[in-house]
Chain A
Amino acid sequence: MTQTEIPSSISTAHHGGTERKWWHYFTFNEDHKVIGVQYLVTAFFFYLIGGLMAAVIRTELATPASDFVSPETYNGLLTLHGTIMIFLWVVPAGAGLANYLIPLMIGARDMAFPKLNAMAFWMIPPAGITLALSLLVGEAPQAGWTSYPPLSLMTGKVGEGIWIFSLLVLGTSSILGAINFLVTILKMRVPSMPTNKMPLFCWSMMATALLILIGTPVLAGALILLAFDLLVGTAFFNPMGGGDPIVYQHMFWFYSHPAVYIMVLPLFGAISEILPVHARKPVFGYQAIAYSSLAIAFLGCIVWAHHMFTSGTPAWLRMFFMIATMVIAVPTGIKVFGWLATIWGGKLSLNSAMLFAMGFVAVFVIGGITGVMLASVPFDIHVHDTYFVVAHLHYVLFGGSVFGLYAAIYHWFPKITGRLVNETWGRIHFILTFIGMNLTFMPMHQLGLQGMNRRIALYDPKFTSLNELATIGSYLLAVSTIPFLINAIWSWAKGPKADGNPWNALTLEWQTSSPPAIENFEVLPVLTSGPYDYGLEEEEVGLPTAQAGSATLSSSPGA
């Protein structure tokens, strides 16, 4: 979308005579920064497509009757909306941030496996476009993003086949990316950076990568078996031939619950970066926030069956998964309280990045509270597969992941483009998004509790008014992306120039030029203190031209 804007900004890079040309962004480039931008822009493009689908869904739901699109199209839309938002927006956008930031944050010149990195990215566009086009040729998958058999085996071979193919490719891409992140974080840090001085974003990406490596192969297994059932007529999951559809649900959720953490952990990391910088205070409880990411990753692997409390799980297993799920509230709570304590007493710059980061905490906590409620088996039996769950998951994935992504984009925009965003438009964007988000998803809690099931085009007229509210909210959300797009494109082309460290931040990515030179650092930096030591050395920080607070740069003879 905005790649054409790049040359003017990139030409300000002043390193080694090699400059980044705009067409580099359309090629198999191995620079992690190019790949990071490719991920982010591609993901945002799919976000707009998935959002358009959501707008059509909400328009259908503005009235109780099924009168806007055909029921088959509606199911295709809801399937693609879920699949695109998860596998083509939040997951790759997180990977994009990780690609761009990890090497810069740990003082590396690139990722551990640059070719693999580029390969992982280039798997995404073909898979995503195939998936999105299936709707236009009238062969969209219709069984929901969960694609439970036997329904998924009965709703059209072509669409379901496309869905399975796309997910296999996207999953492979995700695995390749995760290997890269993990090895890079573990092996490529500057010698002066022990793990307990890593930026928290790296901690959360480590947890994310572990989850991807544990979960995704299981999803791939489920998809391949499903493909056999679909195309060859085996009966792994098809009860008509003696298969067990519940086994599919276990395999699917073994990936797809951790997928929630794959989608939100990178943004937990980003928030932990953004809040201290704009509050001018050290992060509160570094160790606790760092290790809570790993705790969430571990617990995230043993809770999958809480999606199956109303299907076939033995009673004792339900109790185990209930407790395990509730316990996740503890490390998540540690993070939320840590963030609150970080900004408490600080000097908050209420710019767009900070507003989205605080907005993240404000709405994510609602998703967290309803998450604990949903873990409770007796209550979940009532609200499973209802709009209460839809509300919950959007508070986590929109209120969490999307707010986090916007915060991250605003925060690192000067680093990526070398230019500042317009803060006024950014604040307008935040306010519209915040109101639209709550207007869309808050009424859904009540709808679900009152008896509205999810994935329906046709509903009881008694739910009309709350649905109208949600539809208005969704239009507001759609409108809210316009100021963002204008701001991002305009600022990228014409915004005021940013220096290397416009926020006076201490982590390493800010200690190089904006945008960074092709190999990031002219000399490898040497770390002399932690990443969030704000307020510790008053004389150094606070100067707009300060090269760094306490993470000083000096020539590293060994590099």
Chain B
Amino acid sequence: MNIPSSILTMLAGIALTLASIWYGQNHGLMPVEASRDAELIDGLFNTMMTIGTAIFLLVEGVLLVCLVKFRRRPGDTSDGPPIEGNISLEIVWTAIPVVIVLVLGVYSFDVYNSMGGFDPEAAQDPSAVQVAMLPGDSEVMPLIEGASHPMGHQHLALGIGASPETAGKPADLTVNVLGLQYAWIFTYPDLGITAGELHVPVNKDVRLLLKAQDVIHAFWLPEFRLKQDVMPGSLQSELRFTPTRAGEYPIICAELCGPYHGAMASKLYVHTPEEYETWLQSQVANRPDQVQTIASTSDPNVNYLAPFSQQLNQQWGIDRALEHLHSQVHSQAQVHSQAQVHSQAQVHAQMDRSMELTADHSNLQQLIAHPAA
């Protein structure tokens, strides 16, 4: 015990730093990274883990030393030294957290920006709308094509939009997502496909437009580190991401949505271009005749028949969603039969209502677009 305590402290500090840095990189707590967003967030998380581990080791270390070194010896009834404070020490342990917080704040801001959190189209900031309306500003003008959001005023940031690199460009693939107790339904408006599972090509810019039928759901892709509440009513939310890794990933509802909330799950398939093409073909081949006919008709009737077509698509989507739910229930043998019956009945009931609403809504839209009609 001839080692001076300052050297011991220094050695402990070095050990603590090394341990923190090592654990921050090697915690292995996150699932695989399937997008660039996931890599960014994991980098942020690793940094926070490093700092967090250091603080954890420091606090627990001090507690353990106290527990061993400063415990009262039997028979000792004296008091400890009357130290009431130390201004410089207090300044240090106030300033260090301030610096940590500032660094993490700036880092988080940067990651959030790179993910597309500030995309005005997703954010629907009132200010952004005003900017977009400035005449002659051709760079910002396209943003007003948010008129593809049919739902009136949306001044809330609902989700993650285009990253700064893809801002202003249309996404490679847009999919409408409908959440309802207890299923997800995916509609590809450009392709006329409706499915109970989400299929996307790898390395393409994918944009999901999300709405809920009944209660609040949350669309969560753990491997993409993306989550967004899906609201019933007039609010539409958005998630935009580029999958970088082909594979099969869970889609989870993260917001309590009823007794069978745990059963509300689906799959995201990220395909290679060839696989994706094959899947597309199979979808077109499977598509019910009427829908295909309507969708492929290119005369003015398309507009007129659009609500009907949408309705059929929806109807078909229900079957697909149910099929999915069904297979999931069977394959995992997780829900007992009562739950299964219940959720199916629910889905059916909700769907009936959904179709009425959809039809009403489409009619309304038509009326607004062509008041004379």
Contacts of A154 in B (CB 8 A): 214-215, 258
Expressed in whole angstroms, the minimum distance between the Cβ of A76 and any Cβ of chain B is 9
Contacts known (A376-B48, A378-B115); A312 close to B336, Cβ less than 8 A: no
A522 to B220, CA, bound (A): 64
A288 to B254, CA, bound (A): 40
A317 to B93, CA, bound (A): 29
Contacts of B72 in A (CB 8 A): 280, 347-350
Contacts of A245 in B (CB 8 A): 216, 231-233
Nearest-neighbor residue (CB-CB) of A456 within chain B: B262
Q: Are A312 and B83 in contact (CB under 8 A)?
A: no
Q: Are A348 and B70 in contact (CB under 8 A)?
A: yes
A542 at interface, CB cutoff 8 A: yes
Interface residues of A (CB under 8 A from B): 64-67, 70-72, 74-75, 142-144, 148, 150-151, 154-155, 239-240, 242-246, 279-288, 310-319, 322-323, 326-327, 329-330, 333-334, 336-338, 340-341, 343-350, 358, 361-362, 365-366, 369-370, 372-373, 376-379, 381-382, 384-386, 445-446, 449-451, 453-461, 532-536, 538, 541-542, 544
Contact residue among A75, A244, A285, A381 (Cβ-Cβ distance under 8 Å from B259): A75
Q: Are A385 and B254 in contact (CB under 8 A)?
A: yes
Q: Are A330 and B220 in contact (CB under 8 A)?
A: no
Contacts of A287 in B (CB 8 A): 85
B117 at interface, CB cutoff 8 A: yes
14 residue pairs A–B, Cβ–Cβ below 8 Å: A70-B259, A151-B215, A246-B156, A280-B78, A284-B85, A312-B158, A334-B93, A340-B63, A344-B70, A376-B44, A378-B117, A385-B255, A541-B79, A542-B77
- Contact code string B17-36 (vs A, CB < 8 Å = 1, else 0): 00000000000011100000
Q: Are B225 and A348 in contact (CB under 8 A)?
A: no
Q: Are B108 and A455 in contact (CB under 8 A)?
A: no
Q: Are A315 and B97 in contact (CB under 8 A)?
A: no
Known: A64-B334, A285-B90, A450-B30. 14 other contacts (CB 8 A): A148-B216, A150-B215, A314-B125, A315-B125, A322-B108, A329-B100, A344-B66, A365-B59, A365-B60, A369-B52, A372-B48, A453-B262, A456-B262, A457-B262
Contacts of A148 in B (CB 8 A): 216, 255-256
Q: Are B257 and A151 in contact (CB under 8 A)?
A: yes
Contact residue among B78, B258, B334 (Cβ-Cβ distance under 8 Å from A151): B258
Q: Are B234 and A534 in contact (CB under 8 A)?
A: no
- Contact code string B63-85 (vs A, CB < 8 Å = 1, else 0): 10111001111001111111111
A380 to B323, CA, bound (A): 33
B171 at interface, CB cutoff 8 A: no
Expressed in whole angstroms, the minimum distance between the Cβ of B242 and any Cβ of chain A is 16
Cβ-Cβ contact count across A and B, 8 Å cutoff: 307
Contacts known (A144-B256, A150-B216); A285 close to B85, Cβ less than 8 A: yes
Contacts of A446 in B (CB 8 A): 29
B325 at interface, CB cutoff 8 A: no
- Contact code string B107-129 (vs A, CB < 8 Å = 1, else 0): 01101100101100001010000
B261 at interface, CB cutoff 8 A: yes
The 6 closest A-B pairs by CB, nearest first: A239-B233, A456-B262, A458-B262, A451-B222, A535-B79, A71-B259
Expressed in whole angstroms, the minimum distance between the Cβ of B259 and any Cβ of chain A is 4
Contacts of A314 in B (CB 8 A): 123, 125, 155-157
Contacts known (A349-B72, A377-B112); A358 close to B66, Cβ less than 8 A: yes
A401 to B370, CA, bound (A): 62
Q: Are B45 and A373 in contact (CB under 8 A)?
A: yes
Q: Are A372 and B104 in contact (CB under 8 A)?
A: yes
Contact residue among B44, B231, B233 (Cβ-Cβ distance under 8 Å from A379): B44
